[in-house]
Amino acid sequence: MADTTNTSAPTLVAAQAAAPTLEVRNLQTHFFTRAGVVKAVNDVSFTIGRGKVLGLVGESGSGKTVTGFSIMKLIDPPGRIVGGSILFQGRDLATLSEEEMRTLRGNRIAMIFQDPMMTLNPVLRIDTQMIETVQAHEKVSDADARARARDALGMVGIPSPDERLKSYPHQFSGGMRQRVAIAIALLHRPDLIVADEPTTALDVTIQGQILAEVQKLCATTGTAMLWITHDLSVVAGLADDIAVMYAGRVVEYGDVGEVLDAPLHPYTHGLIGSVPSRNKRGVPLRQIPGMTPSLLNLPEGCSFRARCPRAAEDCIVMPTLHPWLPNRLARCHHPHLEEVESA
C-alpha cells in the first residue's frame, strides 16, 4: 500500500506538469428551448499547451462563444454541457462543483469579453471592480489589492493608473475599457485566458496595439490563450494553432500557418477564399453558397454537405475529425489533399 502511494504520487505530479493547460474532448453544449434542442456545441475537441495561443475561428452562430462560456462553465439555463470533458491542467472542469469552479474563475482561468462597452459595471468605479477581483481569490488588504490593480493597469498601457482607478467606466474610451478588462483578467496571472473576440469592437490601430501586448504577455507569463474570433487575419498573426468551427463542430484543426496556406476542409477553403487580399485584387471574391444550417435540426451527415462543392454520396455519413496529415485534422471525406501536395 505504502509502495503504491510512493510510486504513484510522483508520476501523477509529472503527468500534471506534462498535461497541456487545456484539453477539450468531445465537448457538447445544448440549449433546451421550447422550439427544440439547439446543439450549439456538438463535438468540439482541441488542446492548448502552456504559453500557446489557439485561434478558434468560425462564422456567427458556429458555437465559438458557447465553447468559450462552456470552458468558463458560465452557460445559463436552458443551456447545459451535456457531454465531453474539459481538462484544465488535468482536472475535468465539467465535473467540478459551482463553488470549486468559482475559485478557478478569474483566478486560474480568466475571460475577456467581446464588447468592452458592456463588460464593466457602469455604476461601480474601476478600483471597486478590480479590488473585488483580487479579494475574491486572495486575502489581501485593500491597499495591497489597490497596488496590484494599479500595476495591472500600468502593464496594459493605461497612463496615470492611480488617477484612472478612481474613474467610472463611462469615462474611458472603448479601447481603454478593453485594456481595463484585460488588466482585470491578468490580476491573478491566470494559466488560461479565454478571449471572446476581444478586438472585434475596436478600431484597427487599437486592435494592433492590444494584440501586440497580449502576445507579449502570453510569451512572458506562459499563459495559454483561447482566442475566439471570426477574423482570420488576427489569427494568422497571433495564434500558434487554429481550430475552425462549423455548425457546432470543429471541422479543421492544425498549425495556423499550414491551415491558412493549404486548408484541407472545403469550408476552410471557402472561408479563406472569401477574404479580400492584395493578390486577389480585381478578381471577384468567392462566396460560400447557401446559408449555415439551423442548429435546431441539423441535416444528416456532414453539416456542410449542402453548401460543399466536393460533396458526394458518402457525405451522408458524418465524417470524423481525421488526421489526414501529421498534426493536421479535418472532418471531411474529400479533403483538399492535392493542393497540399502541390504546395
Binding mask 164-203 for other proteins (x = CB under 8 A): ----x-x----------x--x-------------------
Asked whether the beta carbons of 126 and 166 are under 8 A apart, the reply is: yes
- Closer residue to other proteins, CB minimum distance, 137 or 322: 137
**Interface with other proteins, residue 110, by CB under 8 A:** yes
User: Which of 50, 102, 307, 310 is the binder for other proteins (CB under 8 A)?
Assistant: 102
H helices of the chain, where? 2-18, 64-72, 98-104, 116-119, 126-137, 142-155, 161-165, 174-186, 204-221, 232-238, 256-261, 266-273, 337-342
**Interface with other proteins, residue 227, by CB under 8 A:** no
Stretch in the footprint of other proteins (CB under 8 A) among 21-29, 104-112, 234-242, 259-267: 104-112
The number of residues that bind other proteins (CB under 8 A) is: 28
CB 229 to other proteins: min, Å = 17
- Closer residue to other proteins, CB minimum distance, 188 or 334: 188
User: Which of 7, 8, 16, 121 is the binder for other proteins (CB under 8 A)?
Assistant: 121
Which residues in 61-90 contact other proteins (CB under 8 A)? 72, 74
103-108 long-range contacts (CB < 8 A, ≥24 apart) are: 103/137, 105/72, 105/73, 105/74, 106/133, 106/136, 106/137, 106/184, 106/185, 106/187, 106/188, 106/190, 107/136, 107/137, 107/188, 107/190, 108/188, 108/190, 108/191, 108/192
CB 95 to other proteins: min, Å = 18
**Interface with other proteins, residue 145, by CB under 8 A:** no
Task: Tell me how far CA of residue 327 lies from CA of 186, 241, 324, 330, 334, in angstroms.
Answer: 31, 10, 8, 10, 18
Binding site for other proteins (CB under 8 A): 72, 74, 102-107, 110-111, 113, 115, 118-125, 132-133, 136-137, 168, 170, 181, 184
